[in-house]
Amino acid sequence: MSDDKHDLHSPAPMVDEVSEFEVLELAVRELAIEKGLFTKEDHNRWTEYMHTLGPAPAARLVAKAWLDPEFKKLAVNDGVKASLDVGIDWINSMPTNFGTPSDYCNLRVLEDTPKLKHVVVCTLCSCYPRPILGQSPEWYRTPNYRRRIVRWPRQVLAEFGLQLPEDIEVRVEDSNQKSRFIVLPVRPEGTEGWSEDQLAEIVTRDCLIGVAVPKPSVTANRKRPVRRAVNPYHH
């Protein structure tokens, strides 16, 4: 159980006994391999595939759309087809060659305008466009974000550092098992004449979820406390 008084910046506590989560995880994995449900190589291949994922292709898609009106049209009309241009094949992706079992093949690209801001949630679980955006951040998975963003979006966005004027409409898109979303934000002023590489750099993961907007000088997500793992996985 998490301790609210736990100092978020302190190192993870030293634990001298193996956790039941670790025991169960090893037991399930080893039994599944022993029973021939999958092989050790299957597991390794999936881990290698995970290492290739991250927000870079989605950022590239946005940068391309900013530079090329035809590509923008394609992205908004057919996100899956547009993904091919940034190297992501939703339908035939590795390692299964039939896409990932839990992400399906229906990416929608939500176009912001100066008067309309999109933000993405999955109220029922934590559906997220993994193939093009990588693993979801912890806060996106919290019941708190999922409870509040659909009912008090302006307040929640303000907590993320995004204060929206009243005349900008906020549209919260609720993901589901079959449909995944990324936000195509408005290209910020001060980026005239920039290259695709330069533009892609300012499209952060948070911009693609919709809790931030791109700024010419910002190339990273807003700094937040990091909860340390007892036995961290190094990506």
Partner 1 sequence: MPSSIRDKVHRHLDICRQIQPALHQETHAPSPDMIDNAHFRAYTRSPHDIGGEPDIPITWEEKEEEVWEHNTFVTCEVLAWRGVWNAEERRRRQNVEVGETMYLGLPYYGRWLLTAAKILVDKQFITLTELQEKMDEVRKRYE
CA distance 56 to 155: 28
Q: Are 182 and 208 in contact (CB under 8 A)?
A: yes
Query: Which is closer to partner 1, CB of 77 or CB of 177?
Result: 177
The residue annotated as part of the active site, out of 83, 93, 127, 175, is 127
| Least distance to partner 1, CB of residue 5, Å | 12
Query: Which is closer to partner 1, CB of 11 or CB of 114?
Result: 11
| Least distance to partner 1, CB of residue 213, Å | 17
125 counts as catalytic: yes
207 counts as catalytic: no
Q: Are 103 and 181 in contact (CB under 8 A)?
A: no
Provide the 3-class DSSP secondary structure of residue 116. Answer: strand
Residues forming the site for partner 1 (CB under 8 A): 1, 8, 12, 17-19, 21-32, 35, 37-38, 42-43, 46-47, 50, 95-96, 100-102, 104, 121, 123-126, 135, 137-139, 141-148, 150-151, 155, 159-160, 174, 177, 221, 224-233, 235
| Least distance to partner 1, CB of residue 79, Å | 19
Kindly state the DSSP code that residue 151 receives in the 8-state scheme.
T
Helices (H), 121-210: 130-133, 138-141, 143-148, 153-159, 196-201, 205-209
Report residue 200: phi and psi, to 5°. -60, -30
CA distance 119 to 171: 6
127 counts as catalytic: yes
| Least distance to partner 1, CB of residue 130, Å | 10
Which residues are known catalytic residues? 122, 125-127
